[in-house]
Amino acid sequence: MKCKKIEKLLLRSFDDLLKDEEKENLESHLRSCLLCQAKRKEYETILGLLRKEEDSEPNPYFLERIQTKIKEREKDAVWTSVKQWSIRAVPISLLLVLLLAMVIILFSPPKSQELSQSEVLLLRNLNPLQETTTLLEEEKVENKNMMLIFTAMEEKNDIRRYFP
């Protein structure tokens, strides 16, 4: 048998595809042919390497673990970006709050503390729920008097202000 044919048999022998007759032919040739013996060793080492690679192929569990690790890292990345964003966002929101406060302070109308005494009395008179009717009647008269006094005083003050 020629070495070429034996090589084919050799290759098929690794897959256990040889008939008994072919096996015997191969064995007998290998015993006598050093070249084919060397070839067989070569193939064996190659196959050994291939099998090692197959063995070290990542199994599903390993793959899952890797994938979960990747997912975790992605989550971490998202979380850190959110954190970074919030860190950057906090000063911005603080600034906005300060700005809003300043706007409110600057543009709000002056508070009612500056109501004059007579104005306060007028407001009290306009509130019907404040007092019972009888008291209200009494107070009205009193308040009217008070109002007159206060307006008179204010007028006096105004006059003094303008003509000291």
Residues of this chain that interact with Zn ion (CB under 5 A) are: 3, 33, 35-36
Q: Which residue has the tokens 């007159």?
A: 148
Residue 80 vs residues 44, 71, 73, 87, 119: alpha-carbon distances, Å: 52, 14, 10, 10, 59
| 13 CB neighbour count, 10 Å cutoff | 18
Minimum Å gap between C-beta 1 and Zn ion is 8
Report in angstroms how near the CB of residue 34 gets to Zn ion at its nearest: 8
* CA dihedral angle for residue 138, residue 140, residue 145, residue 146, rounded to 10 degrees: 110
Nearer to Zn ion, 3 or 89 (CB): 3
Least Å distance, CB 26 to Zn ion, is 10
- Residue 96 has, within 13 A of its CA and on its CB side, a CA count of 5
- CA-based nearest residue to 117, from 83, 69, 151: 151
CB of 40 to Zn ion, least distance (A): 10
Nearer to Zn ion, 46 or 141 (CB): 46
Residue whose CB is less far from Zn ion, 9 or 36:
36
Instruction: Please say which residue, 22 or 139, places its beta carbon nearer to Zn ion.
Output: 22
